[in-house]
Structure 1
Amino acid sequence: MMEEAELCFPQLLNVSCKKYKRPHSETMFIYIVLSFISLLTVVLNVLVIISISHFRQLHTPTNLLLLSLAVSDFLVGLFVMPFQILLTEPCWFLGDLVCVLYHFLPFITLCASVVNMVLISVDRYVAICDPLHYPTRITPNRVQICVVLCWIYSVFYSFLFLYDNLKQPGRYNSCYGECVIYVIGAVDLVLGFIIPVNAIIILYVRVFVVAVSQARAMRSHIAAVTLQWSVTVKVKKSEMKAARNLGVVVAVFLMCYIPFYCVSLSSYDITIGSSTEVFMMFLLYFNSCLNPIIYAFLYPWFRKSVKLIVTLEILQPNSCMINVL
C-alpha cells in the first residue's frame, strides 16, 4: 500500500500532482533489479553486435537481421530502460518536452523489433519452403535494404503517433509533474501488434507444416540415399535447425509482448507509475535481454565468438577470418 500523499511540487499547491511514496524496500528492489537487467541487456547485445560485425563467416542474410534486432535491443538497454526507471517514480521532473522526446526512442526500438521479427520469419519461410530460390531471393544486399527500410519505417511510425504530443507538450497531463502522452491505442494495436504478429504466426505455421512433410519424405526415402541426397539432407537439417532456433526467439518475443497488448485490448486502466505498469513495461523490454541469452544457449557460434572477444583474440591480425562455425 502507498503511504500518505505529498505534492511533487509543494510550491504549486493547486496544480501539482500528488506524490505517493512506495515502501523503501520495494523502491530499492525495483532499482536494483531493473538496473541489473539494463546493464545485462547492454553487455549481451554488444557481444552479439561485435560477433556478427567482426567475423566474416557470420555475414549471412539471417545474421544481418539478428544484427539489426541486436541494435534495437542494445538501444533499449542503454537508453529506454534507464529512463523507464525514472518513470517508476511518482513524479516527472524533466519537463513536458523531454517527456515527449523520451517516448520517441521506445516507440522506434519496439517498432523496429517487431518489424525485424517479421523479416526473420520471412527469411525462414523462404529458406524452408523455397530453398532452391533462397540464395537468389534473400541476398545480403536485399536484406540490408530491408533493414534500412525497417528503421526508416520505425522512425516515421513513431513520429506519426507522437506528432500531436509534440505540438503542445504536456497537454494530456492532468497535473504538473506527470509524464503522459496520447496515442490512438486501437491504431497502434492493429499496426504495431495484430498485423505483424498474425504475419509471424502464419509464416511459422507454414514453416512447421513444410518441415513435418519434409521429415516424413526423408524417412520414406531413407533406403535410396545417395551422396547428393546426403548433402541435401545436411543442408535441410541446417536450415531446419536455424528455423527451430529462430522459432524460439519469436516465441519468447510473443510471450513478452502479448500480455501488454492484451491489457490494451481489454481496455483495462493501469495507473501510471504503479507496480503493475512497471511490470508490464519491463516485461516488454526484458525481451531485449532474453534474445542474446537465447543465442548463447542455441548458437555455438555465439559462444565461440564471445570467448574470442573476452580473451581479446579479436584484436589479433586477420582475426575476422577465424572459423567460428
Structure 2
Amino acid sequence: MWMAGVLSHGVLLSGSNSSTTDYINLTDTGGHNESTSALLRSTAFKVCVLCVLIPIPVFAILGNLLIVASVGRFRNIQMPTNSFIVSLAMADLLVAVLVMPFSLVRSVDTWWFGRNFCVAHFLLDMTLCTSSIFNLSCVALDRYVAVCDPLHYPTRMSPRRVTMLLLLSWLLPLLISSLCVSLSMYYLTPPTGYRGTQQESPTCVAQIHTPYAVADSTVCFFIPVVFMLFAYGRIFMVAQRQARWIHAMENHSGQLHMDQNPTREDPARPDPARPDPARSDPARRVQARLGGFSIRKENKAARTLGLIMGVFLMCWLPYFSINIAFPLWGDRISPIVLEASMWLGYANSSLNPFIYAFFNKDFRHAFVAILGCEILGRQIRGCLVSTQEISRQVHTVVTLETISK
C-alpha cells in the first residue's frame, strides 16, 4: 500500500502540519516495549505471520490465472461483459506478483531492495491497487446498465465504450500515483529513532501528505464505494420488481387462458395435436424461462449482492480510513492494526476471483474443465458451447441471474 510501510522494526508517524517525521523503534529495550520487541523479533512469530500471509498471494495468483485461462480457452466467455472481469483479474494478478512478495519480506523482516526499488514498489502498489478498485466499479457499472436498461445495453456498453472504460481504469490510477511521486507528495527518508539515533535496518517507508491522502482516498475509494452501493442497490430493486412483475403476468395469463377455455377438462395438459408455442417461439421460450424465478432467486440475489459489497468494504474500508486518520492520530494507532489493514486490502485481490467468477456458472464450468478430468471436461465444454445460443437470446432480458454474472 501507499500508506506508511509498517515493518517489524517500527512504524513511521507523521504530524499533519509538519514536514518532519518521528520514528518509534519497536525494538527499543526501554519500558514495556521490551517484551513486544522480543515477540516481534522471534522466529516463531515470523513463522506464524508467514503462514497467515503467504496464502494471500498464492490464492490471488491461482484464482486470477484461472480466470484469464478460462477466457482465453472458451469462446463463449469472450464477451464484452466479461472484459471487466478479465481486466480485474489482470490487476489483481499483477498485485500478487509484483507487489505482495516484496511487501511480505518487508512486513516479516525488513526492506532489502534499496531506495530506488522502494520508490518503484510504492508506485506499482498505488497504481495496481487503485486499478483493481476502478475495475470493480466498471463491473458494477456493467451490471447496472444490463439490469436497469437492458434494451439499450448493446449501445451503452458498446465495444468502443468498454475499451474506453478499460483504458481509464488503468491510466487514471497511473496518473494519480505518478502525480504523487513527481510532485513529491510523500515522505521516503531513512527514519530516526525517537532519541535521535539513526535506524540501523534498511526501511521502505512512504507516507503521503495529509491533503493528498484525503484527496486520494476520496477519489480512489469513497467515490467508487458510493457508486457501487447505488448501482448494486438499484440492481437488486429493479431485478426484484421485474421478477415479481413476471410472476404476476404469468399468473394473470394462466387465469385468462382458463377463462377463455372453460370446457377444457385439463387446461394444464397440452394438446398433442397442437404444437407448443413456447417451443416454436424464441420469445416465449425466454418468457417461460423467466417465469421459473421465485423468492428463492431473490434471496440468492440479495445474498450475492451483500457478499460483493460486504467483502469489498471489509477489505478496503479499514485501510482507507486509517490512511486518512494516520497523519492526524498516528501515535494512537497500533502498528499491528496498520499491518492488518494493509494485508486486508491485498486479500481483496485473492477474494475477487471467488466472488466475481466462481459465482458465475460459465466460469465455474470452465474451471472444472481446466482442472477436472478429461471426460468431465469434454462434457462441460460441450455444455458451454450449447449454452452460447441461449445466452444470446436472453442477453437483453432482465433476470436475477444477471446479478451473479
Shorter chain as denominator, the TM-score bin is 0.7 to 0.9
Query: Which has the higher mean CA deviation after the structures are superposed, 50-59 or 301-310?
Result: 301-310
Residue 58, structure 1, aligned to residue 117, structure 2: no
**Pairwise CA distance, 1:209:** 2.2
Matches within 5 A, 1:211-250: 211-225=239-253, 227=278, 228=283, 231-232=286-287, 234=289, 245=304, 248-250=307-309
> Structure 1 residue aligned with 2:337, among 269, 276, 286?
276
> Structure 2 residue aligned with 1:138, among 157, 167, 175?
157
Residue 170, structure 1, aligned to residue 195, structure 2: no
Which residue pairs with 1:195 in the alignment? 223
**In structure 1, how many angstroms separate the alpha carbons of the residues matched to 2:355 and 2:322?**
26
> Structure 2 residue aligned with 1:179, among 201, 204, 215?
204
Q: Secondary structure at the match of 2:206?
A: coil
**In structure 1, how many angstroms separate the alpha carbons of the residues matched to 2:190 and 2:50?**
27
Q: Secondary structure at the match of 1:196?
A: helix
**Pairwise CA distance, 1:301:** 2.2
**In structure 1, how many angstroms separate the alpha carbons of the residues matched to 2:319 and 2:219?**
15
Residue 61 to residue 231, structure 1, CA distance change in 2 (3 Å) = same
Q: TM-score, normalised by structure 2?
A: 0.66
CA contact (8 A) 2:49 2:108 kept: no
Letter in 2 for 1:231: V
Query: Which has the higher mean CA deviation after the structures are superposed, 223-232 or 28-37?
Result: 223-232
Query: Which has the higher mean CA deviation after the structures are superposed, 295-304 or 282-291?
Result: 295-304
Residue 285 to residue 165, structure 1, CA distance change in 2 (3 Å) = same
**Pairwise CA distance, 1:63:** 1.1
**In structure 1, how many angstroms separate the alpha carbons of the residues matched to 2:43 and 2:332?**
20
Residue 180 to residue 200, structure 1, CA distance change in 2 (3 Å) = same
Matches within 5 A, 1:254-273: 254-267=313-326, 268-269=329-330
CA contact (8 A) 1:189 1:265 kept: yes
RMSD over aligned CA atoms reads 3.6
Which residue pairs with 2:66 in the alignment? 47
**In structure 2, how many angstroms separate the alpha carbons of the residues matched to 1:272 and 1:84?**
20
CA contact (8 A) 2:67 2:353 kept: yes
For this pair of structures, how many residues does the alignment match?
A: 308
Q: TM-score, normalised by structure 1?
A: 0.80
CA contact (8 A) 1:260 1:284 kept: yes
Q: 1 or 2, which has the higher helix percentage?
A: 1
CA contact (8 A) 2:366 2:381 kept: no
Residue 249 to residue 51, structure 1, CA distance change in 2 (3 Å) = farther
Residue 233 to residue 211, structure 1, CA distance change in 2 (3 Å) = farther
**In structure 2, how many angstroms separate the alpha carbons of the residues matched to 1:292 and 1:62?**
15
> Structure 2 residue aligned with 1:86, among 76, 84, 105?
105
Letter in 1 for 2:215: V
**In structure 2, how many angstroms separate the alpha carbons of the residues matched to 1:270 and 1:49?**
43
Q: Deviations over 1:139-158 (max 9, x none)?
A: 33431332122111121111
Which residue pairs with 2:121 in the alignment? 102
Contiguous gaps of at least 5 residues in structure 2: 1-8, 11-22, 28-36, 193-197, 255-277, 388-405
Q: Which has the larger radius of gyration?
A: 2
Q: Equivalent pairs: percent with the same residue?
A: 31
Letter in 2 for 1:249: I
Query: Which has the higher mean CA deviation after the structures are superposed, 130-139 or 214-223?
Result: 214-223
Residue 207, structure 1, aligned to residue 235, structure 2: yes
Query: Which has the higher mean CA deviation after the structures are superposed, 128-137 or 289-298?
Result: 289-298
Residue 32 to residue 141, structure 1, CA distance change in 2 (3 Å) = same
**Pairwise CA distance, 1:79:** 2.0
Residue 306 to residue 216, structure 1, CA distance change in 2 (3 Å) = closer
**In structure 2, how many angstroms separate the alpha carbons of the residues matched to 1:201 and 1:272?**
29
Which residue pairs with 1:155 in the alignment? 174
Letter in 1 for 2:311: V
